Structure 1
Amino acid sequence: MTARTRLAVDIGGTFTDLVLSLPDRTVSRKLLTTHDAPDDAVIAGTRDILAEVGIGGSAVDLVVHGTTLATNALIERKGARTALITTAGFRDSLEIAYEHRFEQYDLYMERPRPLVERDLRLEVAERLAADGSVLLDLDEAALPRLVDVLRAQQIQALAISFLHSYINPAHEERARDILAAAMPGLAITLSSEVCREIREYERTSTTVANAYVLPLMASYLGRMRDGFAGIGVACPLLLMMSSGGVCTVETATRFPVRLVESGPAGGVILARRIAALGGYNRALSFDMGGTTAKITLIDDYAPQQSRHFEVARAYRFAKGSGIPVRIPVIDMVEIGAGGGSIGRVDDLRRIVVGPDSSGSDPGPACYGRGGSAPTVTDADVVLGRIDPARFAGGKIGLDPSLAHRAVLTDIGLRLEMAAEEAARGIVEIVDETMASAARVHAVENGKDTVGRTLIAFGGAAPLHAARMAQKLGIERVVIPVDAGVGSAHGFLDAPIAYEVARTFLLPLDGLDPERVGQLFSDMRAEAEAVVRLGVPAGLLSEQRTGSMRYRGQGHEIAVPLDDSELDQAALRGAFEKAYTLLFGRIIPGLEVEAVTWTLALSQRYALPPADPRVDEGAPAVAQGTRRMVEAASGRAIDAPVYGRASLLPGARLRGPAAIVEDGTTTIVPTGFEARIGYSGEIIIEGVTA
């Protein structure tokens, strides 16, 4: 990004974060999310932050925005009234799903309810073969009859997903043209545009999800632009995507399903930059906000990527219990563990935390907004880890007595514990939940957490990072500058980017380099139509990937490809290298086939070089002390409190201590030492088991 004055906006489940980047400094703001009208908090916060720095809206050159609105609409089932048109005989594919039980021994298992009820899953006669040839022409005469149904049912959005349309979109496109002429205001989504890949259920599910949130997101983005214009901000508005790139409003309006993990993706972009600056080639990104915690593996300064994601899981941790969407996404594990996560005692007299959250309304008990259930934030207040007067920069006042009452009433009295011990139980459970999720995520990817650097950001992460690192065997924790609004900072560092995928099943023994080369040329043209809106052609970087497998296997692995790797030997060599990295061996003698080809086009972006400089700054001077209860030992201590703004690069301090800033507080427990890095980051080392 070359704009000089930029605004980043991150709307989360509890807080809305704003970061204004000026040529000489950055200013941030954290507000409670206004769920009924999320853009209200954004516009009000923007007006305030512009007034604080003394500039008008016209001085802003660029706005980058990430939001959970699409995700929340899918989770809360608050999208448009949607219908699906599919090949005759296949309307129940959306409900049949994978034909398996994701919780085999749960007699009361609940599958996620389809976004489109059965009566609105309509059929039309047509059929394509797997190679795209026409077996049965589209019954165009049937489509006008479906218009009557769509009108009678007051349908607002329509998804069209025909069998094998990923290889030949002609029938879908013709159906769209006929229906659009009859119903000009209807929002129509084609599977061949949203997800041009094999696997009928996932492709249809992605198409339906896109259609379901499309009218909502189009209206929201329109209000957002109007709101910005009303305060004089008339610059381009870009949207953060789940892949870690940004796109234009037009692309986001057309494919809103690509925004489902936009906020967390921004945090990973920040973590990648911090890893590069510190030379941490094996890192773990840890983002803990008010509602959830997100964990991502970063190796060689690149986060793991995926093309499969589940939204609105009926069982938060059970794979297969959600709505699958096939989109480019940074591969992360998301846990219902945030500052607002609610603690309770279950029937076995155990303390459990989350996954449900108090959100921003009513919020934790200490907010004084009507909440009475104890949350992680309440526990942190009871333990003395949060200064009630400085929470969110003093914009949100906390009442410690309400936190104490909630923790004692719901947990302490039931387990015959003092309030502080009950609070410690909440904190230990949530920390172990996050650590366990990180371990499982690493193992599932053939990796380990030991020896990594934990990069922590988000309003709650610095409070819990050191203890979580202890549990994971991690010896270094890094807290970036202004970590409380870390994801918004990441937005400002994200490149304009777009990714295109095409299924073209091809055994390597029968490779046609010219056909594959033409496929990549077509994908490049489609991606350029999006990316070139914001980036000159000479500043684009291309990355190719092939999803490949041994013949007979059910799933593929992602294989990075060089421009020259279009001959059989090179492709097989690239596949065997990637397969060995994942599974430790290859299978000699088996035929290899490529299934899906992917091209990612992005603005050229160079990570900053590692900066090994270490300043010996002025000694750390505490502003006072605060009574805190340490999570690991349960010991009450008078810990020094430091203001982060007063700590110069090179300053060192030993735990126990608290480092306070407007957006968060960093806890340095006993046995840890913290120093301030050259770029202002807090580096915590010396973890003891």
Structure 2
Amino acid sequence: MTRSIRLGADIGGTFTDIALEVGDQIFSTKILTNYTAPEQAILDGMDIVLAEAGLGYGDLEIVIHGTTLATNALIERRGAKVAFLTTEGFRDVIEMRTESRFDQYDLNLRLPTPLVPREDRFPIAGRVGASGAELAPLDEDALRALVPVIAQGGYGAVAIGFIHSYLNPDHERRARDILSACGLPISISSEVSPQMREYERFNTVCANAYVRPQMASYLDRLQDRLKEQGATCPVFMIHSGGGLVSVATAAEFPVRLVESGPAGGAIFAADVARRFGLEKVVSYDMGGTTAKICLIEDYAPKTARSFEVARTTRFAKGSGMPISIPVIEMIEIGAGGGSIAWVDPMGRIQTGPESAASEPGPACYQRGGTRPAITDADLILSKLDPDNFAGGAIRLSTSGAASAIAAHVGDRLGLSPQSAAFGICEVVDENMANAARVHAVENGKNISDNIMVAFGGAAPLHAARLCEKLGIDQCLVPPGAGVGSAIGFLKAPFGYEALASRIIGLSTFDPAAFNGLVDGLKETARRFVAQGTAGVIRCETVAFMRYRGQGWEIPVPLPDRPLTAADAGLIRDGFRTAYARFFGRAIDGLDGQGAGLEIEIVTISVKAADERPAPTPVALTTGARVVSAPQMRAVFDPTTGADLPTAIVARDSLAAGNRLAGPAIIVERETSTVVTSPFDVVKQPDGSLLILRKGA
């Protein structure tokens, strides 16, 4: 049987992870991210795993890539100078936002500065109405006059966002045709985010234009370097919604890559959930720069149509820049291994969001970093072996970590380096626990009902303590957890989600018009998916609905077939069921037939994806044989607040069914799994580690 040879590459803020799949085998490695030339870290990592597998670049069948480069460009404001064209009278929409206050009592609210300054926004006469009809013609003479202004203004990209263009994109398309004489990449909102709500749509098209030149240049360099090395396989990108798209699509719509790396992690956790038959899972992905938490139900990550980046206030919805694209919904905080620890003016230990990243890295890396990071604290608490970090590739300095912690935290608070390190870890663990609680409560869930799936280079170090705080009894650390997102890329389907906003009242439901709209969306989604696969493509249609007058919508799945007039009742029943699930009960007396408020469809989504083979089922085992460890060392235990003799065991030395009592540390090349004293750990038949509360 022919082996499939596929490679996943994930660029993170600190490490670049590579996972090579050769049949049923995975070869993986972690390389420090190269900020000057990100593609170089990918090639360096590929050299390592290909050599281990005895293969060359020409043997690769597919490369799947995800990156945080677009996210970092938005957060750090390292994008292109953008010219934004919008309808006359709407020049300040991206600065006025929605005029809502995420904290109504804070007189000093800080909001993200618009990506495009006011002097770079150009209002253009012409108007499309709320029904999609043209109310005033587009001022083409004004557009032609702008061509030399933009061409000579030092701009790197153009964004166009006109009012109601999601209904009628003709003005945006005509403006693009005229401005193409500038020779710059042009993004139009009716293609980037064809949804209602002007602020979100305008901000999204500006973000797309802002990162487009940088991402296009990077993707071109990556493909060129791969070809130079002898690779002939196609390269695909994973997008924020968890599917794969071509590089050409990614270069045109780079804003869809903003959460691409974390999306791979959620897919990885969903695959683990399906393998073990776990219907309620919370995925916990902690890398070098951030930690991400995602709820997974019925083997699928929760998704949304928008999210925020660059929040100015932690956990505060509304304090960031909205990006209106399909995305796997998760909560993300600045709590990675490289997150900087500091003391605020009130004498409290804080962590992040600033990260030491890969350059200069935590103080213990001995690469020029002088401020303490979470990795420094983990080292002082003996969770890490200074001589065996990253398989021995990076030698850690315990004295360097202790000096940094003492200088910036311990001396200020009168604490020893170990006590300060414990404080740092407790703060970051409580921040993550609080984020998980908030995320679960916002979704009406009880976090303790879930099984945790932990992955990323730093998550297994903190997962057991997080389970203690959240009341979770079981946590799985899968094989390859240290490069989980990169492995998740290999599990992702070729997929694309097409959306359109149309307000359709159920009392006047027109099945012919509705079916025509859905067919157009299916054609668009299938076209993108067909670029990467010749397999069977399945479509899923969802209507986002509300009672007329409400401010937001809820998703209602629709049958994948042409609808008839009789299906208005089916859609209404589906909405009422979904409404009751979200809010406890439907509103009685509102039946969509003229009595009370109308029920209406606001946005239609069609998600197309190719079929993926189901993973081999695995049954959880609580262990048949208790084993002891040949090696012990003293490790600080947060439950008892003291150094305890702790078992140190190599992961590959454990056999399926072996059970080891905590405290213990299971070591491997890409990460270490810390099992605190309230837990035991059991090796599963597929190689996963089950951290299990004693007596549970």
Deviation at 1:434, TM superposition (A): 0.3
Change (3 A) 1:122 1:3: farther
What residue identity is the alignment partner of 2:245? C
User: How far apart, CA to CA, are the structure 1 residues paired with 2:386 and 2:240?
Assistant: 34
Change (3 A) 1:415 1:173: same
Corresponding residue of 1:603: 610
Post-superposition Cα deviations, 1:477-499, rounded to whole Å, max 9, x if no partner, equal 00000111111010000000000
Corresponding residue of 1:446: 444
Corresponding residue of 2:584: 584
**Scaled by the length of structure 2, what TM-score is found?**
0.96
Deviation at 1:406, TM superposition (A): 1.4
Corresponding residue of 1:682: 689
What residue identity is the alignment partner of 2:185? A
Which structure 2 residues correspond to residues 176-215 of structure 1 after superposition, within 5 A?
176-180=176-180, 182-183=181-182, 185-215=183-213
Corresponding residue of 2:411: 413
Deviation at 1:619, TM superposition (A): 5.9
Among 253, 267, 270, the residue aligned to 1:269: 267
Which structure 2 residues correspond to residues 240-279 of structure 1 after superposition, within 5 A?
240-279=238-277
Post-superposition Cα deviations, 1:654-686, rounded to whole Å, max 9, x if no partner, equal 001110000111011112111111100000112
Deviation at 1:54, TM superposition (A): 2.3
- What's the % identity of the aligned pairs? 49
Does 2:312 match 1:314? yes
User: How far apart, CA to CA, are the structure 1 residues paired with 2:456 and 2:24?
Assistant: 24
User: How far apart, CA to CA, are the structure 2 residues paired with 1:406 and 1:34?
Assistant: 24
8 Å CA contact 2:276–2:620 kept in 1: the answer is no
Deviates more, 1:149-158 or 1:47-56: 47-56
8 Å CA contact 1:470–1:687 kept in 2: the answer is no
Post-superposition Cα deviations, 1:59-113, rounded to whole Å, max 9, x if no partner, equal 0111000000111111111111111111111111111111123233333322211
Corresponding residue of 1:474: 472
Deviation at 1:606, TM superposition (A): 4.6
Post-superposition Cα deviations, 1:353-406, rounded to whole Å, max 9, x if no partner, equal 112111111111101111121111111100000011111121111111111111
Deviation at 1:317, TM superposition (A): 2.5
User: How far apart, CA to CA, are the structure 2 residues paired with 1:74 and 1:410?
Assistant: 29
Deviates more, 1:42-51 or 1:170-179: 42-51
Deviation at 1:24, TM superposition (A): 4.7
Among 424, 427, 430, the residue aligned to 1:429: 427
Corresponding residue of 2:656: 649
Does 2:80 match 1:80? yes
Post-superposition Cα deviations, 1:501-533, rounded to whole Å, max 9, x if no partner, equal 001101111111111111110001111111111
Corresponding residue of 2:640: 633
Among 330, 333, 353, the residue aligned to 1:332: 330
Helix, strand or coil at the partner of 1:492: helix
Corresponding residue of 1:154: 154
User: How far apart, CA to CA, are the structure 1 residues paired with 2:373 and 2:630?
Assistant: 28
What residue identity is the alignment partner of 2:169? P
Deviation at 1:40, TM superposition (A): 1.4
Corresponding residue of 1:95: 95
Corresponding residue of 1:458: 456
Helix, strand or coil at the partner of 1:659: strand
User: How far apart, CA to CA, are the structure 1 residues paired with 2:501 and 2:62?
Assistant: 36
Corresponding residue of 2:516: 518
Corresponding residue of 1:543: 540
User: How far apart, CA to CA, are the structure 1 residues paired with 2:145 and 2:336?
Assistant: 50
Does 2:611 match 1:593? no
Does 2:272 match 1:289? no
8 Å CA contact 1:618–1:648 kept in 2: the answer is no
Does 2:554 match 1:557? yes
Corresponding residue of 2:671: 664
Deviates more, 1:158-167 or 1:564-573: 564-573
User: How far apart, CA to CA, are the structure 1 residues paired with 2:633 and 2:140?
Assistant: 74
Post-superposition Cα deviations, 1:204-225, rounded to whole Å, max 9, x if no partner, equal 1111111111111111000000
Among 528, 541, 558, the residue aligned to 2:526: 528
User: How far apart, CA to CA, are the structure 2 residues paired with 1:677 and 1:519?
Assistant: 48
User: How far apart, CA to CA, are the structure 2 residues paired with 1:369 and 1:84?
Assistant: 41
8 Å CA contact 1:3–1:62 kept in 2: the answer is no
Helix, strand or coil at the partner of 2:281: strand
Deviates more, 1:633-642 or 1:406-415: 406-415
What residue identity is the alignment partner of 2:97? A
Helix, strand or coil at the partner of 1:223: helix
Q: What are the ranges of 5 or more consecutive residues in structure 2 without an aligned counterpart?
A: 591-597
Does 2:370 match 1:363? no
User: How far apart, CA to CA, are the structure 2 residues paired with 1:605 and 1:234?
Assistant: 24
Deviation at 1:621, TM superposition (A): 5.0
Post-superposition Cα deviations, 1:30-78, rounded to whole Å, max 9, x if no partner, equal 0111112111111122123223332211001110000001111111111
User: How far apart, CA to CA, are the structure 1 residues paired with 2:448 and 2:76?
Assistant: 37
Deviation at 1:631, TM superposition (A): 1.5
Which structure 2 residues correspond to residues 501-512 of structure 1 after superposition, within 5 A?
501-512=499-510
Post-superposition Cα deviations, 1:264-290, rounded to whole Å, max 9, x if no partner, equal 010110100111111211110000011
What residue identity is the alignment partner of 2:631? G
User: How far apart, CA to CA, are the structure 2 residues paired with 1:322 and 1:688?
Assistant: 43
Q: What are the ranges of 5 or more consecutive residues in structure 1 without an aligned counterpart?
A: none
Deviation at 1:560, TM superposition (A): 1.6
User: How far apart, CA to CA, are the structure 1 residues paired with 2:105 and 2:306?
Assistant: 26
Which structure 2 residues correspond to residues 296-311 of structure 1 after superposition, within 5 A?
296-311=294-309
8 Å CA contact 1:615–1:678 kept in 2: the answer is no
Deviation at 1:541, TM superposition (A): 1.1
Change (3 A) 1:412 1:615: closer
Helix, strand or coil at the partner of 1:360: coil
Change (3 A) 1:337 1:199: same
Helix, strand or coil at the partner of 1:99: coil
What residue identity is the alignment partner of 2:190? S
What residue identity is the alignment partner of 1:604? E
Corresponding residue of 2:173: 173
Deviation at 1:611, TM superposition (A): 2.1
Deviates more, 1:79-88 or 1:42-51: 42-51
Which structure 2 residues correspond to residues 19-58 of structure 1 after superposition, within 5 A?
19-58=19-58
User: How far apart, CA to CA, are the structure 1 residues paired with 2:442 and 2:469?
Assistant: 18
User: How far apart, CA to CA, are the structure 1 residues paired with 2:623 and 2:139?
Assistant: 77
Post-superposition Cα deviations, 1:322-379, rounded to whole Å, max 9, x if no partner, equal 2111111000000111111111222222212112111111111101111121111111
Deviation at 1:3, TM superposition (A): 7.5
What residue identity is the alignment partner of 1:435? A
Change (3 A) 1:609 1:42: closer
User: How far apart, CA to CA, are the structure 2 residues paired with 1:605 and 1:583?
Assistant: 34
What residue identity is the alignment partner of 1:67? T
Deviation at 1:177, TM superposition (A): 0.9
Deviates more, 1:654-663 or 1:580-589: 580-589
Corresponding residue of 2:6: 6
User: How far apart, CA to CA, are the structure 1 residues paired with 2:554 and 2:625?
Assistant: 51
8 Å CA contact 1:84–1:208 kept in 2: the answer is yes
8 Å CA contact 1:70–1:213 kept in 2: the answer is yes
Deviates more, 1:140-149 or 1:618-627: 618-627
Change (3 A) 1:585 1:3: farther
Deviation at 1:635, TM superposition (A): 1.3
What residue identity is the alignment partner of 1:164? H
User: How far apart, CA to CA, are the structure 1 residues paired with 2:612 and 2:540?
Assistant: 13
Query: RMSD in angstroms over aligned alpha carbons?
Result: 1.6
Helix, strand or coil at the partner of 2:447: coil
What residue identity is the alignment partner of 1:106? D
User: How far apart, CA to CA, are the structure 1 residues paired with 2:675 and 2:622?
Assistant: 21
User: How far apart, CA to CA, are the structure 1 residues paired with 2:620 and 2:104?
Assistant: 55
User: How far apart, CA to CA, are the structure 2 residues paired with 1:189 and 1:99?
Assistant: 26
